[in-house]
Each structure stands twice: as C-alpha cells, then as structure tokens.
Structure 1
C-alpha cells in the first residue's frame, strides 16, 4: 500500500532513556518541495486572478494614473475638479491632549488624497471600459451579414472590440464583460414556433396548435413572461441553471447512452502502440492543461479570433462528479486533487499524480500504469461490476450509495473515486478505425459510448479510455458542460502528446524514471449481498440499453468543406439539408429536427435549438424527389436549395444571438410549474419528440496543429446515443477541406430505423445536392473530388 511506503520515512521509538525520532531526508525534501509548489501555485493564481479582475485594464495602469494625479499636485493643475481637496478634508485625524494638529503633514495628506482619488478614478475607468465592451459585445448585426461582405459599421465595431480587448487576455478576462442572454418577446417566440411546425402538421392539426398558441398568448403568457423577465435581470443567465437541473440532474433514467457522449482519438494516427506509454503522455498532457486552466492561462476562445466566448463551463472539467440523489443529482466540483482512479480488469487503483511538488513525468506515469497491468490480483467480491451502478437508474444508485457506501472502507474508496481528477480505464481490448476492418468505427464508438457497462465511471466529468493498441477516447458526462468544452481540452492534449512530448524509438515515453515512487494502491471494497443485487440489476438494465444501440460511422470523403464553400453556401446548411433529404428518403416523411447551437457569446451560455426542418427545407426536399430530372428543373431545385440554406443560416444566427425558440419556451414551462399554472400549449410543445437529433462537433478551436501541413493528424469527432426510440442521433464533424465524418445512432428495437441505411441515404443525399452545382458550362463546373462516387460501400 502507498500509505505503508510513506510511513517508512518516519520512525518513532520509545526507549528507557527517551524517545528516538528519525526522519527521512527524502521525505523532508518532498514535504519542502510540495510546500514551495503549493505557495507558488497560490501566488500565480492570485496574480492571474488580479489580472482577470481588473481586465481590460492592467495593474500597471493603476501606477500610471497615480503618478499622473500626484504630478498635478506640483503643476497646480487640478484635474480632479476639487475632489482631491475634498478627500483630504475628510481623512480621519488624530487629536492629542496638547496639540491640535493633524495626524499627518499637509503634504502627506495631499499625496494620500491623490492616491485615493487616482484609485477611485482607475476603478471607474475599469468599469467604464468593461461596460463599454459589454455594450459592444451586445451588437450582433455582424453575424447576419453575408460571408465576405462586411459593412462599415461592422468594421468600426471590430476595431473597437480589438481596442477594448487588450493585448493578452487570460481565459476568464472577458467574463465580466460578456452580455446577459436576452429574453425574447412572447409574440416573437410563438410566431417562430408556429412557423417551425407549419410544414410538419396538416391543416387541421396546425389550426388546433394555432388555437392553443393564441390562447396561451392571451392568457397566462404575459404573467409568466413578467416573472421570467425578473429572473433575466437578477440571474446571470435566465436559462442555464434550470437547463442543468431539469434537463440533466432531475432525470432519473440511466445517463449511459441517454445523456453521456463520447470523443474519439486521431482518426489515422496512433503515436505509439504501447498502451501504458500512450496513457502516460495523455495523462501528463491533461495535467499540464489543468495547471494552465487553474491559473487561467489559456487564451479565451474567440469567434473570428475577436469575439470572446464564455469560459465558465471550463471550470468543471477536472475534479468533478455527478452525485446521485433520490429526487435530483448534484454536480460536485472540488479544488485541485492530486490523484486519479484507474480501472483495469475489475480492479480499482488509486494513482498519485504528484511527487516532490511536481507532476509525475510521462515516463513515471507509464511505469505506474504498467504496474497496474502487471498486477495479477483478482477483483474483490462485487468489485468487478461496481461501476454499473453509475450506468443504471439513478434512484437505486442513490439509495445504494447512502446505505452501503456511506461508512467504512466503502466510503473511503468511493470518495477516492469521486474526488479524483478524472477516471481512467485501461481497457483489455483494441479499438480504433481500421480501413481494412469492416465495422471498426462502429465498434469503437460503442465501446466509448457504453463499453461493457461496468468499466467506465459514467458519473465522472469524463472517463479517459486507453486501449491495448494505443488508441484513446473519452466518455463525457453531459450535465456540467457541452461538447466544445471537452473538445477544447482534447485538442490541446492530442497536440501536446504528438508534437511536444513524443516517444522513444521503442514507443515508450521519454524521460528518466524515479523507481522510488510508491506503486498504485488498490481501493478496498466490502460489498454486501444486497448491494451486489443492486449492482447486478443496474448492469442488466444497462446491458439492455447498450445492446439496443445501433451505430454506424460514415466517413464521407467524396468532398468536404472546400468544395461546399466553392458552391457559395454554408457547410452546415448544406449538411443539414442533406440530412433532411436523407430523412425523407429513409422514413418517407418529415419530422421535428433538433440541431444544437451554442449561446456562449453570452455569460454562462450553453446551447439553443435550431429547428432544421423548415418549410423551405421541405419544399426543397419535395422538389428533389420529383421525377423530372431535366436541367431546367435542376435550376428550380438549386433555387429552392438556396432559399432553404439561407433560411437555415438565419435561424442558426438567431439561435446564437439569443432569439431562439426552445429555451424560452422551456423556461416559460418551468415558470408555469412553479406558479402551478396549467398550459396545454406548453405541455404540447415540451412533449413533442425529436426524431432526428443532430449536432456538429467543433474542430480546430485552438489551431495548435496545421492540418494542411499534417493532414493525417485529424480527430474523428464524437457522437451520442439516439434521443427518440424510433429516431436517429447524428453527430458530424467537418474535418479539413475534404472529409466529413458522420456518427449515426439509432435503436435495434425500432423496426423503422437502420443506422447503416441512414448513412447510405446521407451519402447519396450529399452527392445529389452537390450535383445541382454542376451546370453544363464547363468554366463554372464543380466536379466531384476524388473522381467517381464511392457508392454504397460501408466505409468503416
């Protein structure tokens, strides 16, 4: 045990002539170094906290203002308009029994008054700059302008943003300057909602919905809106806290597959085939990322490289766990934790991440992980499938946690898991994309999404998964943050792993090894029979869910973003319309479609819904399915495509700028529940199923790797489980200029869906839309890249 090894450094012996105390110099040295590191860390955090707190000013600017104010005392130019004299007169004075003199000299009083005035002026200027920047960031007309066309007002706005943003902002520098999420008007939201469902309902059902909407508009909506307006003034963000609580934490069904999502490794590259070496480099890179995160030293993510995004979600990447409850879960975020928990073949190990006040080196982490692989001990009774508790229903897990894991060794071991920096699984199988192996991407995705249902701790903010062939991946709990947050960290880690840390020729981590580091410690469990039964029940349910996931990974390499942009259209709109065409061909009809859009231009913003199945999209799809294949009809289809793409882009922009539909309706519904007001309209809206749920995985948030120079160092993206029992979940990533990956999920239990079939429909829809941009005029022809279409071959 690690505790036993550390105890050797301290010996205490009682003898007849007194006590004999021996201290190990190595232990004393480690204690000293740990203390030095801790104080250095506090000092850096304090310094960066001050820098972020006074941004967009700087501490040095305070000195400039003070010097300027003191200088006025000698030039007899009163820039304070009498304020310095007023402050001097009101400074506290000390009266003595014998002398009616001030506590300080007149000159000292003037200097102190000037310093106080300069400080107040400096703080006023900070708030003026901050609110000026907030006002500038509330301007969103730039996002609605056509690509490549920028108005004079937008150019001026961008110049002002650059000027007010300072030179080297830290991660949290812009937080206080981000505007609040605006509250849309009820009329706008209802009108947009009715417009969004018009194409999906027949005349009779649409009239019924219109009646419900107008009744709501004229009765309870004004009162609910007033309360919601009050919350929007008082709270930092009127949506995010309710979204986290009611959409995620109050859900009592399993979070595995239903909520958690996954992120894949590099698609084509595996830096080393050695499992423990790859895990060592990746974990060390994560520790580097965490250190910069805690100090706030990462550069803030900015749209166009200028407009800042909210960074609040990034605070909970590490040391975070979802704790189960009877009625609702909570998200527990702790301060810096110095260990992680590793799962391997049914055993749990605690691995310390620091020694002598520093991170373990990659080579030392590799040694620790190899020690775990070499450990031949068997799982303790009930330990093998223990993590299945996090994969089953939340209430049985919450009750079991209170009853069986609230005392003794079980409590200590569970605390070690839940307080760890993150959870690592050293898997016992190989995964990854192999072009020579059919279905390799499918198996890889399912392994990341649910694994064996007991070898990932689904409650941790993320579980890092390491495979025997050196491939990696992440399973992420969704309540604490959205996909771009974990994607930001993963991009940093992969770039650091491949281009900074590297490996030896034999595939091991670089660097020396301190073999005196105590080995990983086994966590101990004493699991009673009743707890084992709960574990088995959770596992059986989780296994049913996992076995029902029908997954297909589709690599679309016929063309990518490069060609789509030559068609003068948005890549996202192009893909979304292809998904609508594929959905119609697959299901013979249209359905309510969910596309996730971010609202991180606002403080504590998360996501909004873009309802991609518009009337314009329906008209385009119907035109594509007409039998007339003449060139003239293709012109009509292209015109309809342009209208549908423009409509989609406008809706996406509205969602990004706080004028979406669904989060507003969701909050009105929650408010109606608080006020115990019944609303048939809101009930109907919130009960509508999203049979097609889509999301785009962000790429190149950090730009650490030039994919034009290193085209094979690209990620495969990530995905999620199906949202509806009879629908599809589609995640896609636009990889560079010539590749788009689709992650498609559905359920085997549905006779209406087939993920592979839907993948082929997507491929054909993409090619059919692209063919609309191939006129007979050879000067403007846009041929297919890579020659002839690859047809219906399963590209995994």
Structure 2
C-alpha cells in the first residue's frame, strides 16, 4: 500500500539502560476519538429510544401536564398525591426527612408523571384504533366524505404535535388482521377462474370447500393465536421460509439491482464517483442511526411501518446447512472494497469524524493503484455466495472460520456495506448489459450475502445489488433516492471530475485482507462458480425507457397508472404467448406493524375480458368500457391487499401451520405449487420532492429490476418517473423456448400505445 499505519499505541525497546517505552500520541488520540464517537452514538440511541417510547407524548407536554396538575392541587389546597406519599412513607423512610412542602411537590410529580403516562397510552390506543380503519382507501378517487375528513383530523390530533422520528409510530401501528378462511377461499377461486376450464374450476371448488369445512378452521385457530401474540403473523415465517430456507443460489433468484441516472453523468472518474456515493450512503446511515429520517406517510398523515430500515447496514446473510441466518451488527466503522480479485478494508472514520468525499476518493485511488496480485483462491472467493447455499455453508465452516481467514471473513461480513470497483465500463446505450452486470457481474466480484453491494464501474457509472431477506425494494429505493439527490448537486465535483475538497496528508491507507485458502476450498469455489455462471448466462435482460407518454397523461383520463400498466402487461403477455397466466404483483402491507408484502393477482376475469376485446373487432367504446372496468377491479384488489385482505400470505401461513402439525392438505399443496409465470413489481418513487425534474430532466432514475421467477416466465419491474417516463425492466431465461425479453418488450410498448389510442387523443397531447 502507499502508506503504512502505526496500529499500536506504544512501542518499547530493551537496551543497556533498561526499557525505553515510546507512546504514540496519534494512536492514543484515535483511540480516544473512537471511544467518544461510540459513547455519543449510544447516548443518541438511548435518547431516541425514550422519545420513541413515549410518542406521541413530548417533553413540553409533560411539563404542561405537570404544571397544570401541581397548580390545580396548590390552588385547591389538597394533597397532590391523594395520600399516596403518606402510604409510601410507611415503607420508605425518606419521606420523614422531607418537609410537608417537599412531600407535596414529590407527590405531585409522581402522580403528574403517572397521569402523563396514562394520557400517552390512551392517545396511542386511540391512534391504533384509528389507524385500523381503512375506509378512506376505498373512497372514490378525488372525493372526500365528511367521515374521512373527521378521521384525518382525529389522526392528526392523536399523532401528537411534535415532528415524528423514523420509529415514532411503531407502537401505534395495528397488527395485521387474519382474514377468514371463507373469504380467502372465495377470493382464491375467483382469481383462478380465468385460468381454469369449467371442469378444473369445479374440482378446485370441491377441494376448497373440503378445506374450508375440515382442516381450515383448525389451522386458522393457530394463526389467530399467533396474530394475538406476535407483532405480525406473516413476516417472520415469510423471511424464514421464502428467503432464508431456500437452498438454491440467491444471485439472480433473490437479489435485485438498482441503477444510476438514465441521462446524467456526474463524473468519469471511478474513484471520485465512489467517494461521493460512499460518503452520501454513510450520511444516510448516520441519519438512520439517529432516527432523523422522516417516516413515510401516506397523504402526509397515515404512517407506514419503518421496521425494515433497522437492518439496512452492518448486515450480512450467513449460510447454513438447513437455513441461513441474518447477522446484524449494531455498528460498523469500515467498509470492504473489492477490486480485481483483492479485498481491502477501508476505515470510514478518522479524527473522530466521517471521511469527506475527497478523502474517500483518495482511498479508492490507492486501491486502484495497487498492483499486487490476488492470493491463491482469493480472486473467485465470492463465487461461494453466488452458488448453492449448502456448499457455501460447508466451505465456510470447514475452511474460512479459522486463523487469518476468520479475521478476514469477519471483516467482510461485519462491514457497513460492500463496494466493488468494477473493471468494466457500463453505459446507458447498452442498458441490457448494464442490468446483467448489476444483477450478477462476473459471479465472483460481488458479495451477494451483504445487505447492500455498491458497484462503481470504470467510467463512473454505478448501481446497487441488494440481498432480499432483510427488507423489500422500497427500503433500498428510499436510500438510493437520497444518495442520487445528493451526488451531483449537494456534494458535486470539480471541473476536472474530482470530489470537492483536498486529500488528507496523513490519512492511513486501506488494509489488504489476508487469506489462506486451501486447494480443497478452491475446488468448492470453482464448483460454485460453474453453477453461478450457468445461471447468469441463462438470464435474458431487456430494459425499455418508455417515453411516449407517462402517468400525467394516464391520470387525465381518471385511470390509475398502475392499473393501466398492469393491463398493458396482460395484453402484452397474451400477444406474446397466446394465453393468460397466473400473475404476481407485489403490494406492500406496511400500514401494519412489521408488514412486508402481499400479492395482487392481476389476471382477473375483467382483465381477460378486456384483452379479448383488444384482439377482436369490438368497437372502441366497448374496449374502453372494459378497460375502465378492469382498472377498477385491479384497484379494488390492490386496496384489499394493502389492508390485510389479500389471499396469498394467508394461504402461505395456513400451509406452514399444516406442516408444523404434520397434516397434509391437497388443496394447499396444489395452490402453493402453482407457478407465477408473470411476476411484476412497481418500484415507487417515494421522495419526488428531492428531484426537480422540470428544470433538470436529466436527473431521472432508471429504476431497478430482478431475475425471472419461473423457468418459462417473465419478471417485470417498472418505475414511473415524473410525468412522462416509465422504465420497464424485463427478465426471462434464454433456455426457455417460450420466452424472449426483447419480444415481450416490444409487445409491452405496442400494448401501451394501443390502449392510449382508445381515448382518441389528439397527437399534440403526446408532446
């Protein structure tokens, strides 16, 4: 490395005159500053814990209640403790040493504090009850009834007067309700009706009815019991069985990616881009640690759960033989950087402060300038995280948990996040290749187990690869929006592309991680790499920046943009394959505590009727009427999913209970084995105020995507950016003769245009 750093606080030498002890004042200073930072962080967390614990109460509210209570007691000349202090004095002798006035003051404070706590819990209970009502969501768009107005006023009143922190509403959020078995059966049968023949549907009705009358109520009893006891009856099982117990590769199959700006290129210098972005991410982490991020609020009033933010940083998925675990550290002061097969530990703090962008750029420059070769087995080591989980767990336990390997592996797994300085260039002209690089890279240059992988390419383009078990995409999207908004504007670059500021003259350099990987482990690495490469080569990615029109034009005709796009996907899929399929659209359930996702089954009887009309010779008016009906049906289903009345999470949990009880259900087994041949997800732009797209249209984001879910199906992620742009990320498998991502992309584009033509728009409105 360019510099060596004195890692000890003292040195000593033995000579004829005795021992000469030499203390390093700089090292001692750094130890002091590190301890100061740690205690400061603990104090902030302790303070925030208290503030969140008493929310919607506040210090001014406490003083007001206390002063009012004591003033009233003094005015009425009564004991403010109502005799409580006298009773306590019989057991606690301290009251004997206080005057009557002090006894009254202490008693008043005690009872006033109790009154304040009672008010807090009463407000919280009322707020939880108010937030359990979701009638506002089912009101006609744009109409505000007096009941909803009153409800919003009450929510605002019982939410308190002070500005909430990130976790302030957690104790006030309702628990996710368990739907009735009867309602779930009805909704399930309705959802599969367009996909089954009459005979097949009658068979499913028979299976569903048998389940509803016999095994279902028994399984439901256990779910009800869990819903009363646990914060969320779905989330822990969903994380464990859908994510952590999967034994196949998480690369492509689970991890997802997020892209850079579509048109903006802040700098061509790789180290400089990394410097600004890493600094921005660390600033976001600091806000997260201090709970200074505003909780996401629908209509600026209705809070959403923030629990998924807790494990964003300092988190790694740890492989196991039967199941993985999520390891989260309370703090981490370093990151790990990968470049050309080498691993480097980079400290993010010096002199008791976070490194500035130019100082981080300085560290990245040192890594890029390092010409050392990878150690044996080091270059492709991360392929273990890309292959099957059992071989990775075996290799980790047998070869990487001892000696220097353990120290290096701990450094990687306990890092704040993982950074790859990629030696390739990615450009928006080749978005398909760019997406594949972020999704899987070379299969050994990303640590897929880390919660976040930041990838910075040689020409300054960048992106993220995120592990999925700890949180869903909107959480990472929130971080990414903050980072992108800071990079070119608030942080900026010099005229020659460097980060602003000056390099640090005494900054210690990065530390190269040391490995001793035996030949047996290298063989296991090679096997995992071959599995991962085959999986990566089978991914067919295609990205469409659809700019013919956007949500602004769709909303003019009182159609939900999401419903419009979902119907376009149904039309495109039918044209692509000549048939309908079970369709998955992810919706969130974060209106409830620890809520994650629910499935909207987008293929409905109404959407199929609309699609059939579009490929027939029906009149424009008939097609438009069917489009409107299908869009309304989709919105209704989306609202049901968001309010805990979905189908699939309930069926999933019933299935888990049946397995625990050892009672097989032919109905549940068949339902949960049905493939999702069209898996879709919208990545919402949550903080539109961060981007001035009117004056700076170049700052539109490309969004992100994921790999195909079914071997013969499509994965489609889309992001609605501003008023005039919708980006589609399409994935499928090259090995399937039924799919072609480019063909499907062309069908999506044509479906969007055909649907718009139903409104007989004047061409000028498209401009």
Query: TM class, shorter-chain normalised?
Result: over 0.9
Provide the alpha-carbon RMSD of the alignment: 1.7
Task: Check the 8 A contact 1:719/1:730 in 2, yes or no.
Answer: yes
Does residue 517 in structure 1 map to residue 507 in structure 2?
yes
Instruction: Provide Cα deviations, 1:668-708, integer angstroms capped at 9, x if missing partner.
Output: 00000001111000001100000000000111436222222
Equivalent position to 2:670, from 660, 663, 684 = 684
Matches within 5 A, 1:36-55: 36-55=36-55
Match of 2:146 in 1: 152
Distance 1:506 1:555 in 2: 30
Task: Check the 8 A contact 2:2/2:366 in 1, yes or no.
Answer: no
Does residue 56 in structure 1 map to residue 56 in structure 2?
yes
Secondary structure at the counterpart of residue 6 of structure 1: coil
Distance 1:20 1:73 in 2: 71
Equivalent position to 1:469, from 441, 445, 459 = 459
Secondary structure at the counterpart of residue 340 of structure 1: strand
Task: Check the 8 A contact 1:93/1:103 in 2, yes or no.
Answer: no
Distance 1:627 1:63 in 2: 73
Secondary structure at the counterpart of residue 546 of structure 1: helix
Equivalent position to 2:243, from 237, 242, 248 = 248
Instruction: Provide Cα deviations, 1:503-523, integer angstroms capped at 9, x if missing partner.
Output: 111110111221311111111
Match of 1:563 in 2: 553
Task: Check the 8 A contact 1:696/1:731 in 2, yes or no.
Answer: yes
Distance 2:91 2:248 in 1: 69
Match of 1:585 in 2: 575
Q: 1:535 to 1:62 in 2, by over 3 A?
A: same
TM-score (norm. length: structure 1): 0.94
Deviation at 1:786, TM superposition (A): 4.7
Match of 1:646 in 2: 632
Secondary structure at the counterpart of residue 90 of structure 1: helix
Distance 1:196 1:45 in 2: 46
Match of 2:474 in 1: 484
Instruction: Provide Cα deviations, 1:387-435, integer angstroms capped at 9, x if missing partner.
Output: 000000000000110000111011111111000000000000111312x
Q: 1:433 to 1:77 in 2, by over 3 A?
A: farther
TM-score (norm. length: structure 2): 0.98
Secondary structure at the counterpart of residue 81 of structure 2: helix
Instruction: Provide Cα deviations, 1:78-108, integer angstroms capped at 9, x if missing partner.
Output: 5xxx772231222234799xxx993433222
Equivalent position to 2:598, from 598, 605, 608 = 608
Matches within 5 A, 1:419-430: 419-430=414-425
Deviation at 1:129, TM superposition (A): 1.0
Secondary structure at the counterpart of residue 278 of structure 2: helix
Equivalent position to 2:274, from 279, 287, 291 = 279
Match of 2:413 in 1: 418
Deviation at 1:782, TM superposition (A): 4.7
Deviation at 1:709, TM superposition (A): 2.7
Deviation at 1:498, TM superposition (A): 1.7
Task: Check the 8 A contact 1:94/1:102 in 2, yes or no.
Answer: no
Instruction: Provide Cα deviations, 1:223-276, integer angstroms capped at 9, x if missing partner.
Output: 100110000000000000000000000000000000000000111111111000
Provide the aligned length of Structure 1 versus Structure 2: 766
Task: Check the 8 A contact 1:773/1:782 in 2, yes or no.
Answer: no
Distance 1:390 1:525 in 2: 16
Q: 1:27 to 1:594 in 2, by over 3 A?
A: same
Deviation larger for 55-64 or 573-582: 55-64
Deviation at 1:131, TM superposition (A): 1.1
Equivalent position to 2:723, from 708, 712, 737 = 737
Does residue 655 in structure 1 map to residue 641 in structure 2?
yes
Does residue 66 in structure 1 map to residue 66 in structure 2?
yes
Equivalent position to 1:89, from 86, 95, 98 = 86
Task: Check the 8 A contact 1:93/1:102 in 2, yes or no.
Answer: no
Secondary structure at the counterpart of residue 249 of structure 2: coil
Instruction: Provide Cα deviations, 1:552-589, integer angstroms capped at 9, x if missing partner.
Output: 11111110001100111000000000000001000000
Match of 1:161 in 2: 155
Distance 2:646 2:167 in 1: 26
Distance 1:700 1:478 in 2: 19
Q: 1:705 to 1:332 in 2, by over 3 A?
A: same
Task: Check the 8 A contact 1:85/1:110 in 2, yes or no.
Answer: no
Equivalent position to 2:199, from 200, 204, 210 = 204
Match of 2:534 in 1: 544
Task: Check the 8 A contact 1:301/1:701 in 2, yes or no.
Answer: no
Instruction: Provide Cα deviations, 1:592-635, integer angstroms capped at 9, x if missing partner.
Output: 0000000001100000000000000001100111134xxxx110
Does residue 675 in structure 1 map to residue 655 in structure 2?
no
Task: Check the 8 A contact 2:419/2:454 in 1, yes or no.
Answer: yes
Q: 1:29 to 1:132 in 2, by over 3 A?
A: same
Equivalent position to 1:504, from 494, 497, 500 = 494
Task: Check the 8 A contact 1:310/1:600 in 2, yes or no.
Answer: yes
Secondary structure at the counterpart of residue 150 of structure 2: helix
Q: 1:558 to 1:13 in 2, by over 3 A?
A: same
Distance 1:786 1:93 in 2: 83
Task: Check the 8 A contact 2:446/2:453 in 1, yes or no.
Answer: yes
Q: 1:514 to 1:579 in 2, by over 3 A?
A: same
User: Which stretches in structure 2 are left out of the alignment for 5+ residues?
Assistant: none
